[in-house]
Amino acid sequence: MRPLATWPAAARAGLVGVFTDIDDTLTTEGGITPDALAALASLKAAGLHLIPITGRPVGWSQPFAAAWPVDAIVAENGAVALVHEGQGRLRKLYQQGEAERRENYARMQQVAQRILREVPGATLARDSAGRETDIAIDHSEFTHLPQPDIEAVVARMREAGMNATVSSIHINGWYGAHDKWQGARWIARELLGLALEDDLQRWAYVGDSTNDELMFRHFPHSLGVANIQRFASQLQHPPAYVTPAERGAGFAQAAAAILSARRGAA
């Protein structure tokens, strides 16, 4: 991971959009900070596309998708999107059909109950009521699970045939081929008519944890806010650059780097 200051200005100036994680990337101690929100607004005013992509549930994401200056929020690790249509109106898109979602939901609840029985201290994330396509176990938001228990939860999800990933706060599990990278490709196609994989030099991604690793691997302009260092030893594909500051302040620094390069190129 190289310092943010080494990110070439020419690369920054050519960007047309930014994907970003939410928790501990845009947010600090559970809320978006004024500097991060202002950074979103400045990027949007400069004409960039902005798409947060998160493991958080679609229900939790709705007020932010309506209020923040973003094109859309992709929730539940790529399964569902809330597209901003202006004046607080949102359109919901799914990668899976209704029957598949209903069947998967029932199966996931059985896995969740097994985890709660078998892993001491495991609890469902408090935002579980808003989830439609995955389950989440809290490990660092309102409770603390030690690393061996996090690994035990992941193992049980995968034994049940689920995908599993660990964010800075939750362990997420789901059925289906989607993930953050597939979700990014999907929403770029649905929203912009764009084959993202053919246009990656013009997009950046900002994240903070192991569940951002797929995005770090694919995006040449990948950035970690400074708290990514917590997961550095677990990343086979770290971000290309890292900000000096953590969380929302780090996102604001990344946005400032993009905007300064665009002004310089004007």
pLDDT value, residue 81: 97
User: Does the fold of domain 98-174 match that of domain 2-95+178-265?
Assistant: no
Report how far residue 78's alpha carbon sits from residue 68's, in angstroms, rounded to the nearest whole number: 19
pLDDT value, residue 13: 96
The fold of the 98-174 domain, in CATH, is Hypothetical Protein Ta0175; Chain: A, domain 2 (3.90.1070)
pLDDT value, residue 266: 59
Give Cα 59 to chain centroid, integer Å: 15
pLDDT value, residue 87: 77
Relative orientation angle of helices 147-159 and 98-118, to the nearest 10 degrees = 140
pLDDT value, residue 239: 97
Q: Where are the domains of the chain?
A: 2-95+178-265, 98-174
The fold of the 2-95+178-265 domain, in CATH, is Rossmann fold (3.40.50)
Model confidence pLDDT, tens digit, residues 8-47: 999 999 999 999 999 999 999 989 999 999 999 999 999 9
Burial 66-101 (b: 16+ CB within 10 A, else e): bebebbbbbbbbbbbbbbbeeeeebeeebbbeeeeb
Q: Which residues of the chain have pLDDT under 50?
A: none
Looking up tokens 């209903």 gives 102
pLDDT value, residue 226: 98
pLDDT value, residue 84: 85
